[in-house]
């Protein structure tokens, strides 16, 4: 697992004036920062809200939530950006398909969806008989469905569009790519098909996706080869952070000596001017800001709310509806049921919990004596997540503990002889030892008041503050991981355009 501490981060920024400041730990910001540094801009990246690669409990470093990634080749525009940074090979090596690729657990059936077509067919037809043929056909169509929209995203569409000309250009581009409106192939009401569709909330950030593109593209990408990334979401961010530092950008992460957090944003009239860090009177100035944190967190940094009402109204268009709630069990590998997959989707038969996603991780010890933690041989972490209403956190610890007990019940039913051998049971929202992860959401689902172009967009990247751009997961929520990274790619282009027109710091 990559660690920010390895980057030998400075004790503070190396200068007070930058071309661009990137604020927030989300992947779009990290990618935008690295691309801008590669293109010779002076970049300061302040992590601000990062949870880090897991939380510590009972001597282990545990994941906040399951994280499933598509293969890189299923995200061609993202692959181009990583190629520019020289990271394609590194990312491809770090992405590892699960074994089997996905396991389904229904009340009367359990089946492995192997990558090998012959094994998959034998397994599915054995469990479902004639119904299995229809499921296999739908799956085959689904896993390749994203290819019909690949060319559209490689054309770097202005998503969301801003103004008449971008909107007109986008409509023209959409007409040239009819594959964007293809209906979902996996539309059957059969229990197995419905369960597979239950994977959707785990791989995008829209509360209720309705458009064909939002319903098909992320699911198609992931099902083509559902993969794990070493260190999960944060492992990928740390990889981008390392590259940014190597390219000369200033990186202020959570593991820096001062644990850098932004205290407030400063404005010069209607323009962004800079940021002040907690416990510092220094104003770090820049020509523009790229924000890659949740809109609620960004809103709190605007101290003069009266004069920046337009920005606040822009951010208020996003509402968090659901959050991914997780329970971790640390167990000896020998106590797991034989044949249990590394990635399992469970039909809980619980209307409130919905589908449950399980991901097996190596158990890792916490660091001690200046040394990194190590994987514990023969011990695994079962990370189980379900989606619950965002209001669950406000209902208190007792309510959250009740949710955790219900997930425990599901795990007991799935692994009936494992609980007595359990080494640790941990709930991130309750047991993250007061770390910032206890209040942050590793995977929220949003709804938006703004128009959803192609049914995948959320907050427009350009804001009423002309030199403040968004590159967080609320920009393209219907595209999941790919959407986060595409927001970063486009933010980098928008910053370059802005800096070419005029650099206010250079007169």
Per-domain residue ranges of the chain: 4-53+232-317+449-506, 61-145+182-230+320-438
For 162, the 3-state DSSP assignment is coil
Question: Which tokens hold the place of 61?
Answer: 């470093």
Question: Which tokens hold the place of 93?
Answer: 């090596």
- Span 212-234, mean pLDDT? 93
Q: Quick one: pLDDT at residue 253? A: 77
Tens-place pLDDT, residues 306-319:
999 999 999 999 99
Q: Within 10 A of 365 (CB to CB), how many other CB atoms are there?
A: 16
Q: Quick one: pLDDT at residue 121? A: 94
Q: Within 10 A of 369 (CB to CB), how many other CB atoms are there?
A: 4
403 Cβ contact list (under 8 Å, min separation 6): 325, 386, 388, 392
Q: Which spans in 75-129 are helix H?
A: 76-84, 88-94, 117-128
Q: What is the DSSP letter of 206?
A: B
How many angstroms separate the CA atoms of 378 and 332, rounded?
A: 6
Tens-place pLDDT, residues 384-406:
999 999 999 889 899 999 999 99
Tens-place pLDDT, residues 296-306:
999 999 998 89
End-to-end CA distance of the chain: 44
For 331, the 3-state DSSP assignment is strand
Q: Which spans in 230-317 are helix H?
A: 232-246, 295-299, 309-315
- Hunting for tokens 């523009």 — which residue is that? 288
Tens-place pLDDT, residues 167-197:
999 999 999 998 898 999 999 999 999 999 9
- pLDDT-derived band at 440 (thresholds 50, 70, 90) equals low
Instruction: Choose from 14-18, 53-57, 148-152, 369-373 the range with maximum mean pLDDT.
Output: 148-152
CATH (residue range 4-53+232-317+449-506): 3.50.50.60
How many angstroms separate the CA atoms of 407 and 401, rounded?
A: 10
How many angstroms separate the CA atoms of 187 and 201, rounded?
A: 16
CB contact at 8 A, 82 and 69: no
- Span 38-48, mean pLDDT? 94
- pLDDT-derived band at 5 (thresholds 50, 70, 90) equals very low
Tens-place pLDDT, residues 144-157:
999 999 999 999 99
For 260, the 3-state DSSP assignment is coil
Q: Quick one: pLDDT at residue 179? A: 84
- pLDDT-derived band at 279 (thresholds 50, 70, 90) equals confident
Strands 468-470 and 375-389: unpaired
Residue 160 clears pLDDT 60, i.e. is over it: yes
CB contact at 8 A, 19 and 36: yes
Mean pLDDT estimate for the chain: 91
Half-sphere exposure at residue 313, Cβ-oriented, CA atoms within 13 angstroms: 7
Strands 60-62 and 444-448: unpaired
How many angstroms separate the CA atoms of 15 and 350, rounded?
A: 55
- Hunting for tokens 């206010």 — which residue is that? 504
Q: Quick one: pLDDT at residue 195? A: 97
Nearest to 58 by CA among 438, 361, 436, 423: 423
């Amino acid at each position: 697992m990559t660690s920010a501490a390895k980057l030998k981060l400075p004790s503070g920024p190396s200068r007070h004036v930058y071309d661009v400041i990137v604020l927030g730990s989300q992947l779009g910001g990290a990618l935008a920062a690295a691309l801008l540094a590669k293109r010779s801009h002076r970049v300061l990246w302040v992590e601000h809200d990062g949870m880090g690669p897991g939380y510590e409990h009972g001597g282990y470093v545990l994941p906040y939530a399951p994280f499933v990634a598509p293969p890189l080749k299923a995200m061609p525009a993202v692959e181009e950006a990583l190629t520019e940074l020289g990271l394609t090979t590194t990312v491809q090596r770090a992405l590892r398909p699960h074994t089997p690729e996905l396991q389904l657990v229904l009340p009367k059936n359990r089946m492995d969806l192997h990558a090998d077509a012959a094994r998959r067919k034998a397994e599915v037809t054995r469990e479902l008989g004639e119904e299995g043929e229809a499921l296999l056909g739908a799956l085959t169509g689904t896993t390749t469905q994203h290819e019909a929209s690949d060319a559209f995203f490689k054309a770097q569409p202005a998503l969301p569009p801003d103004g008449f000309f971008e909107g007109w250009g986008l409509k023209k581009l959409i007409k040239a790519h009819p594959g964007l409106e293809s209906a979902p192939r996996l539309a059957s009401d059969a229990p197995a098909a419905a369960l597979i569709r239950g994977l959707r909330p785990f791989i995008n950030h829209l509360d209720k996706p309705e458009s064909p593109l939002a319903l098909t593209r992320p699911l198609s990408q992931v099902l083509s080869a559902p993969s794990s990334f070493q260190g999960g979401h944060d492992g990928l961010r740390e990889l981008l952070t390392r590259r940014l530092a190597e390219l000369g950008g200033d990186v202020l992460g959570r593991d820096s000596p001062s644990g850098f957090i932004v205290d407030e944003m400063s404005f010069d009239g209607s323009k962004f001017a800079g940021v002040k860090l907690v416990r510092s009177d220094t104003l770090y100035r820049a020509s523009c800001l790229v924000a890659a944190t949740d809109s609620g967190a960004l809103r709190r940094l605007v101290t003069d709310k009266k004069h920046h009402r337009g920005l606040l109204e822009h951010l208020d268009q996003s509402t968090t509806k659901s959050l991914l709630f997780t329970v971790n069990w640390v167990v000896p590998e020998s106590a797991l049921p034989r044949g249990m997959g590394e990635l399992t989707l469970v039909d809980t038969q619980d209307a409130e919990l919905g589908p449950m996603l399980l991901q097996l991780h190596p158990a890792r010890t916490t660091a001690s004596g200046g040394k990194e933690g190590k994987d514990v041989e023969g011990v695994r972490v079962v990370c189980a997540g379900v989606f619950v209403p965002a209001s669950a956190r406000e209902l208190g610890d007792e309510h959250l503990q009740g949710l955790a007990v219900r997930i425990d019940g599901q795990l007991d039913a799935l692994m009936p002889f494992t609980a007595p051998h359990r080494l640790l049971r941990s709930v991130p929202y309750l047991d993250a030892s007061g770390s910032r992860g206890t209040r942050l959401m590793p995977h929220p689902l949003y709804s938006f008041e703004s128009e959803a172009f192609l049914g995948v967009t959320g907050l427009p990247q350009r804001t009423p503050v002309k030199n403040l751009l968004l590159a967080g997961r609320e920009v393209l929520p219907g595209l999941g991981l790919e959407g986060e990274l595409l927001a970063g790619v486009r933010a980098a282009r928008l910053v370059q355009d802005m800096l070419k027109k005029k650099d206010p710091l250079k007169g």
